[in-house]
Amino acid sequence: MPDVVEEKHIRLDIGCGTNKRKDGEWIGVDTIDFPDVDVVSDALTYLKTLEDNSVEEMFASHFLEHLNGEDRVLFMNEAWRVLQDKAKFTIVCPHWSHERAYGDPTHKWPPVNSWTFYYMNKGWRDVNAPHCGYTCDFDFGVAGSFDPNDSYVANRNIETKMIFMSRNINVTTDIIATLNKKAAVI
């Protein structure tokens, strides 16, 4: 009888810093050797070492805004390559309309916004932006987080908060995108 090969469940926390998502279950990747970091490397270089369809899930909190536009394209294309079909990739970034998106001198242009994720969807991109360099294909949903101490927003319903997210500055603290890898069409 052949040996049973144990399936690997690779979950990556990209740019984990000092707050790795889940001990033991997640591999923390960061360029700085903080205590919770398992792999000290820039994310793109590390992803290039992984096999196609080898990652079950990815998470990146306050990472994507540190890449310039060209590096975001390269990173997202590699993330799509290594993720398994239908795998989830959660991205959290400072919302473009909040001052914290611009306060950190290590954040790169352009700021991340809801439209950023349309470019990562092949169907939308084929019609609207075939020039942009992405080869990945993700379905996505976008939400926002709000400061619970901000009395202007705290007690509003979700519909009002979503309107605020697109029309007011300094209301939405983070943009939260949930991407799901669409399988490659061969």
Share of the chain above pLDDT 70, in %: 95
Q: Say whether pLDDT at 23 is over 60.
A: yes
pLDDT band at 8 (very low <50, low <70, confident <90, very high): low
Kindly write down the DSSP assignment for every residue of the chain, as one continuous string. Answer: -PPPPPPP-EEEEET-TT--SSTTTSEEEESS--TT-SEES-HHHHHTTSPTT-EEEEEEES-GGGS-HHHHHHHHHHHHHHEEEEEEEEEEEE-TTSTHHHHSTT--SSPP-GGGGGGG-HHHHHHH-TTS-----EEEEEEEEE-TT-TTTTTS-HHHHHHHHHH-SSSEEEEEEEEEEPPPP-
> pLDDT tens digits for 68-104?
999 999 999 999 999 999 999 999 999 998 998 999 9
Are residues 65 and 173 in contact, defined by beta-carbon separation less than 8 angstroms?
Answer: no
> pLDDT tens digits for 33-53?
998 899 999 999 999 999 999
Structure token pair of residue 5: 């090969």
- Cα–Cα distances (Å) from 22 to 27, 111, 134, 159, in that order, read 9, 28, 30, 32
pLDDT at 150: 86
Report the predicted TM-score, pTM, of the whole model to 2 decimal places.
Answer: 0.90
Share of the chain above pLDDT 90, in %: 69
Are residues 87 and 55 in contact, defined by beta-carbon separation less than 8 angstroms?
Answer: yes
Average pLDDT score over residue span 102-125: 94
Domains within the chain, CATH numbers bracketed: 10-181 (3.40.50.150)
User: Whole-number mean pLDDT of the chain?
Assistant: 91
Are residues 43 and 29 in contact, defined by beta-carbon separation less than 8 angstroms?
Answer: yes
pLDDT band at 19 (very low <50, low <70, confident <90, very high): confident
Q: Say whether pLDDT at 63 is over 50.
A: yes
pLDDT at 186: 67
